[in-house]
Amino acid sequence: MKILKKLSRFALVTVFVSSPVFAAEGTSKVVASDDIKWGYLNPLRGALSPGAADLWGNRTTGTATGMLVRFKKGFESPPHIHNITYRGIVIDGLLHNDDPKAEKMWMPTGSFWTQPAGEDHTTAANGETNLIYLEIDSGPYLVKPSTEKFDNGERPLNLHKNNLVWLNKSDLHDIKAKGVLSTYVWGSTSTMGGSMLKLASGFEGSITTTASEFRAVVISGEVEYSSKDLETSQILKAASYLESEGSFTHQMMNNSETDVTIYIRTNGKYQVNEK
């Protein structure tokens, strides 16, 4: 599989998509990484299976779902296919996902890939700890033998974090804060899309949205988070999750000495502001 070396500037500037405006303030949900309930990706295999936890949706039904999957060092799956297309983002460790005959290309934290339905591939992990966020637009999420492979017309993408193109407030009209970078990784400007934000050390501000679906996962670093729905602020580490529906303000502070990277899935506009 060919590796995408660069994304076009035109694709990256269209990070935000339109949605209805809600008159009333919306609702939200927050799940800190320490509170995640883990199971197995394949319960029948027990401890031999990668660990898995749904952050939203239900991977065993026909709904869209976002989940965490963790692998032990040295894990490598046999060649297989999936019945549906998925997207993956590395949260921790080193991941490889490609044609069974491809040489290993280890993708570190912040890397992004897509795996089309029906395409034969293997997945491997090589970090001491390995964790990804995996997202599907419909389910259930199934693993099937390579003998059932098919071509659904989509093509895979391996995007190493060093090949991401980040834009700042001078490039994007909905980024109003210094020290904030954004990159667009998938989707349509009229329906649903995915992007990543990078909040620099010392950032203090908010993400405002009116979207009917706004979901965010902390990919790296940790952020102090607060909103109208929380009595006290929470520290959200990597793999933590938040969502909102309707008009909502997510307040964030990066008190650490490193950047915080956040993945956002939404069907509406959002704006990043300084306090």
Structure confidence at residue 24 (pLDDT): 56
pLDDT digits (tens, 9 = 90+) for 110-124: 999 999 999 999 999
Domains of the chain: 9-29+165-274 (2.60.120.10), 36-162 (2.60.120.10)
pLDDT digits (tens, 9 = 90+) for 166-202: 999 888 878 888 899 999 999 975 689 999 999 999 9
pLDDT digits (tens, 9 = 90+) for 99-154: 999 999 999 999 999 999 999 999 999 999 999 999 999 999 999 999 999 999 99
Q: Which pairs from 95-98 meet CB under 8 Å and 24+ separation?
A: 95/71, 95/123, 95/124, 95/125, 95/126, 95/130, 95/132, 96/122, 96/123, 96/124, 96/125, 96/126, 97/121, 97/122, 97/123, 97/124, 97/158, 98/1, 98/122, 98/156, 98/158
Q: Do residues 66 and 55 make contact, with C-beta atoms less than 8 angstroms apart?
A: yes
Tokens of 103: 């040489």
pLDDT above 90 covers a percentage of the chain that reads 81
Whether the pLDDT of residue 9 is over 50: the answer is: no
Mean pLDDT, the chain, rounded, equals 90
The label of the residue with tokens 């964030």 reads 252
Higher-confidence position of 7 and 206 = 206
Structure confidence at residue 258 (pLDDT): 97
Nearest residue to 243 (alpha-carbon basis) of 260, 261, 257, 229: 229
